[in-house]
Structure 1
Amino acid sequence: MSTLFTISLTTGILSGIWGWLAVSLGLLSWAGFLGCTSYFASPKEGLRGLAESLVTNLSGVFWAMVIIYASDFLSLDVLGYAVTALIAFFMCIQAKKQWLAYIPGTFIGSAATFAAHGEWKIVIPSLLLGGVFGYLMKSSGVWLHRRAQYASAHSTRQSA
């Protein structure tokens, strides 16, 4: 079994579990899949990648809410666009800080918040649990691959 196969297998199984859990808990399953995707696309591996993915997702939620509230406060649409431009700058420049360096994670959190019409109280747990599921999908797939390799090597030695 290849690593791709085992990660695909565990991702498939855990995706079904996530879908059920999200509905059961009243969360946004699609936002959870964004959190999962954010982890999978993260340049860092393991718990470090998960932490950076989650922190940047949360920063994106924050920045989206700043845009939403500031735009609601301003009476001219063009000022709302100016706020969006300014905040997008901050969303990128915050990458100077190591824990906020994963810019796509910030934009994923922001996009999820906009898609949920600013309902951050449901977006945050959806993104967080989705990110954890992404971590579990990949780490369990890697574990299964190692286990299968060990079992294969062990059975080959016993046959010889």
Structure 2
Amino acid sequence: MSTLVAISLTTGILSGLWGWIAVSFGLLSWAGFLGCTSYFASPTGGVKGLAASLLTNTTGVFWAMVIIESSNFVGLDILGYVITAVVAFFMCIQAKQAWLGYIPGTFIGCCATFAAGGDWQLVLPSLLLGGVFGYLMKATGLWLHNKSNQSSDAAGFNPEH
């Protein structure tokens, strides 16, 4: 079985499981899929990619709340846009720290928080669990790929060769 087919299979199964878990626990399934996507798009992958994705998603939630609360405090639309500009700068410049270097993860967390109307208490667990599911989708897919090739090799048949 190819790596793509194996990861596709485990991603399909775990996506259905995630949907059920999200509904059962009152989480945002779409935010979980953003967390999953954030992991899949992380440049490093593995546990390191998961950590970078989860950490930057979390900082994105924080930055969104800074924008929302600051904009509500000032009350003028134009100042809200200035705050957004300043915070977007910080969302990028935080990448000077290697462990915050995955800028798209920060923007995913921020956008998810805006999409949920600032309900960070709901966005955060949804994003984080979604990221873990993304990791599991890939890890179990790679495991399945390796197992299926071992059994084919043991039987003396490997269609990929």
1:7-26 residue pairs with structure 2 within 5 A? 7-26=7-26
Structure 2 Cα separation of the partners of residues 54 and 44 of structure 1: 13
1:8-157 residue pairs with structure 2 within 5 A? 8-156=8-156
- Secondary structure of 2:52's aligned partner: helix
* Dislocated runs of 4+, deviation >2 Å: none
TM-score normalized with structure 1 length: 0.97
Letter in 2 for 1:10: T
Cα deviation for residue 76 of structure 1 reads 1.3
TM-score normalized with structure 2 length: 0.96
Deviations 1:40-90 (A, max 9, x none): 000012110000000000000000000000000012100000000000000
Structure 2 Cα separation of the partners of residues 132 and 65 of structure 1: 23
Letter in 1 for 2:115: A
Structure 1 Cα separation of the partners of residues 49 and 3 of structure 2: 19
Letter in 1 for 2:8: S
* Identity percentage of aligned residues: 70
* Structure 2 residue runs without a partner (length 5+): none
Q: How many residues align?
A: 157
